Structure 1
Amino acid sequence: MATLYFRLNPHLYLRDPQQTELGQKIISASVRLIDTLGFEQFTFKKLAEDIDSTEASVYRYFENKHRLLQYLVGWYWTWLEYRIDLFTSSLPSPQEKLKACIKVVASEKKFDDTFEFMDEEALHRIVVSELDKTYLTKQVDSDNREGLFGGFKLLCKKISAWVSEINPGYAYPHTLVSTILLTAKHQIFFAEHLPSLTDLNNTTTRHQQLETFLESLLIKTIT
C-alpha cells in the first residue's frame, strides 16, 4: 500500500481509489491499459477482466472512463507539483525556483517508488497523448465549476507567483505559465509523431532540448 496519498477533488471519483487495494489495482491497470491501447479502445470491461474483477466494482470508484482519465491527469498535475516542491523548497530566489521548475517539467518521467501503485512514466505518456480530451468537451464549464481542473490551476498559480515576483509589471503570468505547461506536453508529442511541427529531435536528448527551449521562452519573456 502507498505510504503517501494526494487529496484530490472528491468530484473526480465516487470512492477514493488510493485508499483500498482494489482501488490501487484499478489505477495501476488503467494506466497500463490506456498507455497500451489508447483511451478510445480502453473500456471498463477490459479493465475488469485485467484485474480479475467486475465492471460493477470499477463503477463503484468512477462514474465513467472520462472521469477516470480526468482523475489520472489530476493526479499527474498534483504529483508534478509535489516534485517541483521537492526541488525548489530550499532555493532562495524565484529565478532559481523557476529554473528548477522548468527542469522538473521538461525532464523524462521515471517510476517514483513513493507511490507503488502508479507508473509515472506510463502516466506521463498518457498525459502527453490524452490530456486535451480531459477539457475539450461540451461539459468543460460544469467540470470547471466542480473544480476538476484544480490540480492544473494550483500548479499554474504557484509558478505564476514566481513570475510575478521576478517581474511584477508583467501582465500575463498565468497565460505564460499555462502555455509553457501545455507546450511541454505538445512538443514531446510532436517530436514523437509530428516532427515537422517542432525543432525537438525524437532522440534521447529531446527532454534536454525541451528544457532549453522552455527556459529560454520563460526567461526571455519576463526579463
Structure 2
Amino acid sequence: MNEKLFLRDPEQSELGKKIILHSTQLIHKNGFEAFTFKKLADDIGSTEAGIYRYFENKHRLLIYLTAWYWNWLQYQVSFHTNNIKDPVVKLKMVIKLLATTVEDDLSTRHVDESILHQIIITEGSKAYLTKRVSEDNKDRLFKPYKDLCAVIGNMILECSPNYLYPKSLASTIIEMAHFQNFFMNNLPSLTDFGENKDEAEIVLFLEDLVFSSIKKG
C-alpha cells in the first residue's frame, strides 16, 4: 500500500485493523456522506484523535479502502486466470469476477471483502471524483486501479492484438459492472436486469459488449 495513503499503517496494529473493519461496516450501513471519524471512534471505543493518527481525513481513508480492494481484486484475477491458456476464457473469467457478488476472504479477518465490494459499487467513484484528483494522482494513490486496468487491457490484447482501445475498454468493463449492479438494485428502469435482478445477466451483457467491440477491432 502506498505510504502516502496513511499517516500510520493500519495493518500494523489492532486499532488500525479495527479502523478498517468498522469503517467499512459504517460506510456500508449509512453511506460515506454520513460517515464521520466521531461515529467511527464511538463504534470501536476509541477517540477521534486516535483515528486521526492513522488517516488525515475520511476521504483519504476512502481512497485507502478502494486501493486495498483493487490490490486484492488483482490478486483474485491472477489466481483465477493463472492456469487458463485460452485468452477468451480468461477474459470471461475476469468479467465474471467483476460483475458478480464477492465472498468474504476469511484469510483477511480485518476486511470483509463482500461489504467492501458493495462500497466500491456505491461509493468508489468518490475516491477520485474530486478537485484534488490531479494532486492525488501525482502521489500515485490510484496506482492499484490503474494496475488492474493494465492487466485487463493486456488480456484484451491477447484476444485481439490489433484492438485500438484496450485501456479504455478495460476501465469501461470495471465501471460498467458496478453501474449496472447499482442500477439493477436501485434504479431498475436504467437497465434490462431490474426485473430479475440476476447478476448472470450483467455478465452476459458485458461479454456481449466486450467481444462485440474487440471483434470489430
TM-score (norm 2): 0.96
**Counterpart in 2 of 1:3?**
none
**Counterpart in 2 of 1:27?**
20
Aligned 8 A contact 1:192 1:202 in 2:
no
TM-score (norm 1): 0.93
One-letter code aligned to 1:172: Y
**Counterpart in 1 of 2:138?**
145
Larger displacement relative to structure 2 (62-71 or 78-87): 78-87
Residue 18 of structure 1 and its aligned partner are, at CA, apart by 1.4
What is the rounded CA distance, in whole Å, between the counterparts of 1:144 and 1:117 in structure 2? 27
**Counterpart in 2 of 1:5?**
none
The one of 175, 181, 184 equivalent to 1:191 is 184
Counterpart secondary structure, 1:108? coil
User: Would you say 1:108 and 2:101 are equivalent positions?
Assistant: yes
**Counterpart in 2 of 1:48?**
41
What is the rounded CA distance, in whole Å, between the counterparts of 1:9 and 1:37 in structure 2? 27
What is the rounded CA distance, in whole Å, between the counterparts of 1:109 and 1:207 in structure 2? 12
User: Would you say 1:209 and 2:201 are equivalent positions?
Assistant: yes
What does residue range 2-151 of structure 1 map to in structure 2 within 5 Å?
8-151=1-144
Residue 47 of structure 1 and its aligned partner are, at CA, apart by 0.4
Aligned 8 A contact 2:10 2:20 in 1:
yes
- Give RMSD over aligned pairs: 1.1
What is the rounded CA distance, in whole Å, between the counterparts of 2:26 and 2:115 in structure 1? 10
Residue 143 of structure 1 and its aligned partner are, at CA, apart by 0.5
Larger displacement relative to structure 2 (193-202 or 213-222): 193-202
What is the rounded CA distance, in whole Å, between the counterparts of 1:102 and 1:184 in structure 2? 8
> Which runs of no fewer than 5 residues in structure 1 stay unpaired?
1-7
Counterpart secondary structure, 1:87? helix
What is the rounded CA distance, in whole Å, between the counterparts of 2:3 and 2:193 in structure 1? 38
What is the rounded CA distance, in whole Å, between the counterparts of 2:169 and 2:8 in structure 1? 35
The one of 208, 212, 215 equivalent to 1:220 is 212
Aligned 8 A contact 1:188 1:206 in 2:
no
Identity over aligned residues, as a percent? 48
CA deviation profile, 1:155-214 (whole Å, cap 9, x unmatched)? 0000101111221211100001101100111111111111111112364x5211111111
> Which runs of no fewer than 5 residues in structure 2 stay unpaired?
none
What is the rounded CA distance, in whole Å, between the counterparts of 2:195 and 2:37 in structure 1? 33
Aligned 8 A contact 2:95 2:173 in 1:
no
What is the rounded CA distance, in whole Å, between the counterparts of 1:206 and 1:19 in structure 2? 39
What is the rounded CA distance, in whole Å, between the counterparts of 1:156 and 1:149 in structure 2? 11
Counterpart secondary structure, 1:154? helix
One-letter code aligned to 2:44: I
Residue 218 of structure 1 and its aligned partner are, at CA, apart by 1.0
Which ranges of 4 or more aligned residues in structure 1 deviate by more than 4 Å? none
User: Would you say 1:173 and 2:162 are equivalent positions?
Assistant: no
**Counterpart in 2 of 1:4?**
none
